[in-house]
Amino acid sequence: MKARFYVLGSSLLSSLLLFLAFAPYNYYLFLFVAFVPLLVVTENMKPLKAYLVAAFTGIVAISFGFYWVGNWGNYVLGIPKPWHHVVTVGYAFVVSHLFGLVFAAFYLIKERSSTAPLILFPICLAAVTSIFPMVFPFTFGSGLSYFLTFIQPIDITGVYGLDFMIGLVNYLVFMGLKNKEVIKKDGVWQAGACLVTLWLVYGIGSLAHWDEKIATWESRSIGMVQTNRPASLGRPRPEPGFTREKPYELMLTDRLSKMGAEVVVWPEGKFFGLSFWPQVAKSFHSEIDRIGTPIIFHDTVREVLMGQRKHYNSSLIMRPKMSLLETYHKMQLVPFGEYTPFGDNALVKWALGNYASSLDAGTQHKTFEVKGMRFVPKLCYESQFSSQLGSAIGADGKGKVLLVQSQDGWYGKSNQPEQHMASSVLRAVENRVPLIHVINNGSSAIAGPQGRYYYKTRPFEEVNSIGMMPFDQNSGGSFFSENPYLFVGAIRFVFILYFLVAFKDWLLSRRKHEA
């Protein structure tokens, strides 16, 4: 009985440390010891039992950290309160297998490989996290966005380098607690500690370099519209006193333009219908010509391609005195929110009914040029896809600005927007470009290429103001943006190779035992 309580307590402790490490609590140093209790309690377990214990840890951690998934179930899937919390637990159960797979794979490979466990554990953590399918993707490294010195090397590795280092530090601590003599005598432990030290030295030097560099840059005035409008599955009507032809956002844009905004950005979350009603598009062009400031906004766009009607979730730019309307169509759609997996299946149609969605995915990245700034637009969920955003910046990164427009009102007054923002900031560091993230319900922010905030609004309020963005048209891009799949691809390859060899040996040993 005592052993069971020991296992349960260790599992819950790991869950608590993981939960507190992420926004809005931001006790990010807990990430470097969060897996230690699990490593201690599972050390002598068989892979299957370790799987179950780690999966339980995942259920608890995800249920608390991602409690807002239930709000999404209420808004999007129509599940009434309080039953919407079932969605949270169900989602936590699914994602918990990520934790289980990390530990089961680690012990399976560890038993059948001569490779040092200190190297195997971070490989398993980073590789499984990068492969595991999730509706709302996350990485453990996202919890470190406020640890500026530690996140700088991701301009080489991407965010999965953080996951690797989190695993490495956790195992170093585990080994040190188990036997203090390893610190003096174990060459592998010392090599691991040297790697962490080198990572930190690079981070400290890089942060100082970028802070000094950015201090010489010019500041650009970015108008940011944060309407705090409630989320809606339908087409929201204009606010009282406004029309589709002249919505509330145009009045705000006029104000921000008079305050000196060089460009005004609207968030995701409002249907304007420019491609549905010609008079709306005509009125928008007329108003922007009068105001004299470009806008980047979000809308649902309808197109007919080769006889097929397409509907996209899109970012658009409109400039004064220019009839051309440039458009970026969202490439990564939210499952069950923007498209329905297996949507043609009769059972799926019956189960979801009116909640089934069927937007089309875009196929290419776009760049919007405004006064020397090259905006790379992405919509909401897309900021979670590290390698794809690296591809969008690419080798031609000079003068680029990563722009994310979001509607996070689906999740209520929760920690979700802050978690979203924290993970988005890592995209700025990975690609060494400024980031603008405009969230309908806040917080909206501007961050520099080193991950430092230069402007941030209050959440869950209407805030419409100008943020100053550091910018240099001759800067932008990184080793990661030129090679966005290199590190994660290498980690996956090594993990799969180790796993296949270990699994083969395990099957052979079982056959011999049965014979």
Give per-residue pLDDT as tens, 383-416.
Answer: 999 999 999 999 999 999 999 999 988 888 888 8
Place of tokens 């608890």: 60
Angstrom distance (rounded) from CA 354 to CA 99: 34
Those residues whose C-beta lies under 8 Å from the C-beta of residue 273, and which sit 6 or more positions away, are: 235, 244, 280, 299, 300
Helix (H), strand (E) counts: the chain? 18, 12
**What SS3 class is residue 195?**
helix
Cβ 144 vs Cβ 451: under 8 Å: no
Please report which confidence band the pLDDT of residue 339 belongs to, taking 50, 70 and 90 as the band edges: low
Q: With a cut of 60, say whether residue 342 has pLDDT above it.
A: no
Q: With a cut of 50, say whether residue 350 has pLDDT above it.
A: no
Percent of the chain with pLDDT over 90: 65
Please report which confidence band the pLDDT of residue 71 belongs to, taking 50, 70 and 90 as the band edges: confident
User: Which run of H or of E encompasses 169?
Assistant: helix 159-178
**In the prediction, which pLDDT does 393 show?**
96
Token pair, residue 307, equals 């006889």
Burial 83-115 (b: 16+ CB within 10 A, else e): ebbebbeebbebbbbbbbbbbbbbbbbbebbee
pLDDT tens digits, residue range 440-464? 998 999 999 999 999 999 999 999 9
Q: With a cut of 90, say whether residue 325 has pLDDT above it.
A: no
Closest-CA residue to 385 (of 143, 136, 153, 23): 136
Angstrom distance (rounded) from CA 21 to CA 27: 4
Q: With a cut of 90, say whether residue 303 has pLDDT above it.
A: no
**What SS3 class is residue 312?**
strand
- Residue 36 β-bridge partners: none
Sheet holding 453-456, edge to edge: 368-370, 373-379, 400-406, 435-439, 445-447, 453-456
**In the prediction, which pLDDT does 361 show?**
83
Cβ 126 vs Cβ 160: under 8 Å: yes
- Residue 374 β-bridge partners: 369, 400
Q: With a cut of 50, say whether residue 349 has pLDDT above it.
A: no
Cβ 220 vs Cβ 471: under 8 Å: yes
Decide which of 475 and 358 is more confident. 475
Cβ 175 vs Cβ 118: under 8 Å: yes
Those residues whose C-beta lies under 8 Å from the C-beta of residue 144, and which sit 6 or more positions away, are: 28, 31, 150, 151, 162, 166
Token pair, residue 63, equals 């249920």
- Does this model's pTM top 0.85? My answer is yes
Closest-CA residue to 172 (of 161, 158, 162, 186): 186
The amino acid sitting at 504 is K
Q: With a cut of 60, say whether residue 515 has pLDDT above it.
A: no
Q: With a cut of 80, say whether residue 483 has pLDDT above it.
A: yes
Closest-CA residue to 337 (of 139, 135, 138, 137): 135
Token pair, residue 376, equals 């790379």
Closest-CA residue to 424 (of 122, 142, 136): 142
Alpha carbons within 13 angstroms on the beta-carbon side of residue 285 total 13
User: Which run of H or of E encompasses 458?
Assistant: none
